[in-house]
Amino acid sequence: MLGRPIGFSALLLSLISAACSFVHPWGDVRNVATRGQILEGSAVPEDVRRILESKCADCHSNQTHWPVYSRVPPVSWLVEHDVHAGRAAMNLSHWARISTESRIALLSRIAAEARTGEMPPKPYTMLHPANRLTDSDKQQIATWARTERKRIRTEGSAQKEIETK
Ligand code: HEC
């Protein structure tokens, strides 16, 4: 007696789930060019790049890793929303295209978010405990952000001097 309705519900559920996997409310965030490295055009030490690559790039670059669970709705929609919003706030794959002023502002934000532990967001580090920033990570990010801000500023003013000559 029970077999039929349960079998039917299961079939219906899997049909709905299959149909939903074609729904992407935040656009086609998976289908982006993934060539190149993050932070191209910046003077970033390899170890700092590696920290940002492993702990920030899932949401802040085109180099997102998509684990299996991230492909199944409704979880896929939550993950895609984070990636969409994260890239919109800052996409490290487009670093070279970001204006000097914005890069300087972002570097301050990066250091601040890292120091306060706001980033990576809690739900993400609960799923990926290894991607929490260690104290040493935070320090390395802050030091690099400061040095890089200075470098960009000097580069910017040197460029202006050339232009006005
Ligand atoms: C799970 C996805 C996710 C991860 C991982 C993540 N972020 Fe974010 N980040 C976001 C989202 C979403 C936003 C935009 C909304 C907000 O500010 O909360 C954001 C915003 C930001 C901003 C912009 C803040 C502003 O004031 O404009 C910075 C800077 C930032 N993140 C730095 C980082 C750094 C550094 C890491 C790695 C240590 C990181 N994020 C990891 C999702 C993420």
Q: Of 117, 26, 120, which Cα lies nearest the Cα of 79?
A: 26
Return the percentage of the chain with pLDDT > 90, whole number: 69
Q: Is the CB of 55 under 6 A from ligand 1?
A: yes
Ranges 24-28, 88-92, 100-104, 125-129: which has the least confidence = 24-28
Peptide bond into 121 cis (omega under 30): no
Residue 7 CA to ligand 1 center (angstroms) comes to: 43
Atom of ligand 1 nearest to the CA of 113: 32
C-alpha to C-alpha distance for 146 and 160, rounded to whole angstroms: 21
Residue 81 CA to ligand 1 center (angstroms) comes to: 12
- Is residue 118's pLDDT more than 80? yes
C-alpha to C-alpha distance for 133 and 124, rounded to whole angstroms: 12
> Residue 157 has which token pair?
């003013």
| Residue pointed to by tokens 């003077």 | 43
- Is residue 1's pLDDT more than 60? no
- pLDDT at residue 161, as a whole number: 75
pLDDT digits (tens, 9 = 90+) for 17-63: 888 888 899 898 988 888 889 999 999 999 999 999 999 999 999 99
Return the percentage of the chain with pLDDT > 70, whole number: 98
Residue 95 CA to ligand 1 center (angstroms) comes to: 15
Q: Is 109 exposed, middle or buried (0-12, 13-18, 19+ CB in 10 A)?
A: middle
pLDDT digits (tens, 9 = 90+) for 123-138: 999 999 999 999 999 9
- pLDDT at residue 164, as a whole number: 72
C-alpha to C-alpha distance for 110 and 52, rounded to whole angstroms: 10
Q: Is the CB of 89 under 6 A from ligand 1?
A: yes
Q: Is the CB of 110 under 6 A from ligand 1?
A: yes
Other C-beta atoms within 10 Å of 75: how many? 12
Angle ∠(51,154,149) on CA atoms, nearest 5: 25
Residue 113 CA to ligand 1 center (angstroms) comes to: 8
C-alpha to C-alpha distance for 108 and 150, rounded to whole angstroms: 11
Per the prediction, the chain carries an average pLDDT of: 92
| Confidence category of residue 102, pLDDT binned at 50, 70, 90 | very high
